[in-house]
Structure 1
Amino acid sequence: MVIVMHKSAYTENVMMYNEKKVNEGVATFFHFKNTKSANPFNYDEKHRVKILLDIEDENPRAWHKCFHVSFNPSNEDYKIMNDGTIKQEIDNMMEHMGYGHQPYFVYRHEDLERVHFHVVSTRIDCITHQKIKDNFERLKMQRFLHQLEEKYNLPLKEKPQEINFRFSVRSRNIKENLENLFKHLNEKDELTTKDLYDQALLSFKVEVQKSGRGHIVVVLGDDGKPARYPIRLSKFKNKPKFYSKENRLAEQKTVEKQQLQQQKKPDISEVDLRSVGVVARDLNRLVERSKWHKENPKTKYKTRKKKRGKRF
């Protein structure tokens, strides 16, 4: 059994999400309580949303007014607890969390491989119009879930073992944990270069060092010195991204390609200087010509009209 408390800011959005699932045929109206109407599911969706929003309008200053919980029994749990039992336990859950007197709606979803339920209410008290205290809500929910599992003897799922990325002198399964670290970092698209990858390894006190023709993996202590006996990189199945054979070959091809591109670029000494000399000569002639015109401007002669003598 898994009970998830969702952090939802707007009650209307959560209600409309569930109503949409009902309209799509993947959810059904399952349960309700503490509403003025005898059966609010006989009305349209606006009627149900208005029941909760009218209460929230009495306290406009409060934030995150929606109370939204998903009740997720496994397939094995659902064989032990039928629909009638689940309705009763949802009521017990709301009473345990301090929402037993609040109006709330329950939707039965079948859009996943298993049946699960969404419970929607408001954190604004319908009587005092004050926000219901939500301190330690998750802890209270965990206590209720523990009681529920003991009450019905529900099968407990083994929690997946957490991957340990902290390495020290006393660390166990060091090789397995290092492989998990390599796998974790290999999936990071942000680590685009070998230098960035090495810096990420150092943040976990791990370093890949050159040793002969190969590499070794060293776990460092707080003083920066090796804290564990180094392990040959060839011993690992999951290798660091920039140290695998494929990456080394790809890197080598990239370097060779860059060198080839540099070789194709023409050298200045190999350029034919004849055309450059011709252009330089023409520019010099143009400059000299412009200088001569400035120093020796053309003299302009004024033409005088000849005066004709008077005839007697």
Structure 2
Amino acid sequence: MVANIRTGATVGGAIRYNEEKVNRGQAEVLFWNRMLDPFDSAGRMSHERCMASFEPFLQANRRTTNTVFHVSLNPSPEDRLTDEQLGEIAREYMERMGYGEQPYIVFKHGDIAREHLHIVSLRVDSTGRKISDSHEYDRSMSILRDLERKYGLHPSIKGQELQDREELRKVDYPKGDVKQQVSSTVRSCLRHYRCASFGEWRTLLEAFNVSAEERIGTIDGRDYAGMIYGALTDDGCGIGTPFKSSRIGKEEG
């Protein structure tokens, strides 16, 4: 099993990404913890109800900028797990990572070859204090190895965690070589995810500090369509000079 842990400043974006998957039948809500029922009276997932569960924690926040904890748990395609088992795995993982008393919601995605989980929570507790992220990656790997043994799961391929972690790293503008960072992130997202709309694609990229903008128009009577990519800060603000998708590769345009 492989975990991809992400952070960010706006939990609404992480919820919206998963909500769009649910609305398109590509994901479902498996369960939620210490939250309001996330569905409205018509049985549709409600972004507003989810945010209402997170809001008291965000208001109590003291100094933490990146308040979002968003993790995907990816079993091997060879593992066949029931929803009950997936729920147990998600609950134990969150408990041992220090998020057992946090509000969080668990989604089961089926939009790629293997079913996997997405869990959205907050990195600040009810008093506004940040939950420790010390040695987060190492702790996560240790928990996953225990879960593999407990549930008889296929161990992840050696080096796969490192590969996923490196490929899906957030763009960090101060590190420089921004076009290369953005290009790498776009290509990696194309390999790991399938999005049914531009809105889903844009929301996914924003989680990795990448902006995407469609450009559609007519020049000399000929229609054209393209995409512009750029870098974002952790607060979601554009930074630097965007560039055409053609500079990444034809498949991204």
Which interval holds the TM-score relative to the shorter structure? 0.5 to 0.7
Residue type of the partner of 1:132?
I
Structure 1 residue 75 displacement after superposition = 2.1
Partner residue, 1:184? none
- Contact 2:76 2:153 (8 Å CA) reproduced: no
Partner SS state of residue 105, structure 2: strand
Residue type of the partner of 2:97?
M
1:84-163 aligned within 5 A = 84-126=84-126, 128-159=127-158
Partner residue, 1:41? 39
Structure 1 residue 50 displacement after superposition = 2.3
Residue type of the partner of 1:97?
M
- Contact 2:109 2:116 (8 Å CA) reproduced: yes
Residue type of the partner of 1:7?
T
Unaligned 5+ residue runs, structure 2?
Answer: 161-179, 181-253
Partner residue, 2:28? 28
Residue type of the partner of 1:141?
S
Structure with greater Cα Rg: 1
Q: Distance in 2 between matches of 1:96 and 1:160?
A: 23
Q: Distance in 1 between matches of 2:159 and 2:120?
A: 30
TM-score, normalising length: structure 2: 0.58
Partner residue, 2:52? 50
Q: Distance in 1 between matches of 2:22 and 2:156?
A: 30
Judged with a 3 Å threshold, the aligned counterparts in structure 2 of structure 1 residues 27 and 143 are, in CA distance, closer, same or farther, namely: same
Structure 1 residue 10 displacement after superposition = 1.7
Higher relative contact order (CA 8 A, sep 6+): 2
User: RMSD in angstroms over aligned alpha carbons?
Assistant: 2.0
More helix by share: 1
Q: Distance in 2 between matches of 1:136 and 1:118?
A: 21
Partner SS state of residue 138, structure 1: helix
- Contact 2:107 2:118 (8 Å CA) reproduced: yes
Judged with a 3 Å threshold, the aligned counterparts in structure 2 of structure 1 residues 114 and 62 are, in CA distance, closer, same or farther, namely: same
Structure 1 residue 8 displacement after superposition = 2.6
Structure 1 residue 160 displacement after superposition = 6.2
- Contact 2:109 2:118 (8 Å CA) reproduced: yes
Residue type of the partner of 1:41?
F
Unaligned 5+ residue runs, structure 1?
Answer: 162-189, 191-312
1:243-262 aligned within 5 A = none
Q: Distance in 2 between matches of 1:156 and 1:95?
A: 21
Residue type of the partner of 1:125?
D
Partner residue, 1:10? 10
Judged with a 3 Å threshold, the aligned counterparts in structure 2 of structure 1 residues 157 and 108 are, in CA distance, closer, same or farther, namely: closer
Partner SS state of residue 41, structure 1: coil
Judged with a 3 Å threshold, the aligned counterparts in structure 2 of structure 1 residues 99 and 148 are, in CA distance, closer, same or farther, namely: same
TM-score, normalising length: structure 1: 0.47
- Contact 1:68 1:121 (8 Å CA) reproduced: yes
Q: Distance in 1 between matches of 2:49 and 2:157?
A: 43
1:228-239 aligned within 5 A = none
Q: Distance in 1 between matches of 2:159 and 2:136?
A: 24
Structure 1 residue 153 displacement after superposition = 2.7
Structure 1 residue 60 displacement after superposition = 5.2
Partner residue, 2:70? 68
Give CA deviations for 1:179-222 in whole Å, capped at 9, x if unaligned: xxxxxxxxxxx9xxxxxxxxxxxxxxxxxxxxxxxxxxxxxxxx
- Contact 2:62 2:129 (8 Å CA) reproduced: no
